Amino acid sequence: MASRHKILIVDDEPDIRELIDYHLGRDGFETFTAINGYDAIAKAKQFAPDLIILDVMMPEMDGIEACRLMRNMSQFKNTLIVFLTARSEEYSEIAGFNVGADDYIAKPIKPRALLSRINAILRRNVKQQEEDEHAKITIGDLVIDREAYLVYRGEEKIVLAKKEFELLYLLASKPGKVLTREQILKQIWEESVVVTNRTIDVHVRKLREKVGEHYVSTVKGVGYKFEL
Residue 207 is part of which domain span?
A: 134-226
C-beta of residue 99 within 8 angstroms of C-beta of residue 72: no
User: pLDDT digits over 86-116, tens only?
Assistant: 766 566 677 888 888 888 888 888 999 899 9
Structural domain includes residue 1:
no
Q: What is the number of structural domains in the chain?
A: 2
The pLDDT, as a whole number, for residue 2 is 42
| 201 and 93 part of one domain | no
The model's pLDDT over 2-12, given as tens digits with 9 standing for 90+, comes to 447 999 999 99
Give a yes or no: residue 100 inside a domain.
Answer: yes
Q: Which of 46-50, 97-101, 210-214: highest mean pLDDT?
A: 46-50
Rounded to 5°, angle at Cα 96 from 46 and 126: 60
SS3 of residue 179 by DSSP:
strand
- Given 130, 145, 177, the domain boundary residue is 130
Question: Which of 102, 130, 158 marks a domain boundary?
Answer: 130
Whole-angstrom Cα distance, residue 179 to residue 118? 27
The answer to whether residues 53 and 119 belong to one domain is: yes
Q: Are residues 14 and 104 in the same domain?
A: yes
- Both 100 and 139 in one domain: the answer is no
CA angle (52 as vertex; 164, 161 as ends), nearest 5: 15
Strand boundaries in 56-149, DSSP class E: 80-85, 103-106, 136-139, 142-145
Whole-number pLDDT of residue 190: 65
> How large is the average pLDDT for residues 149-173?
91
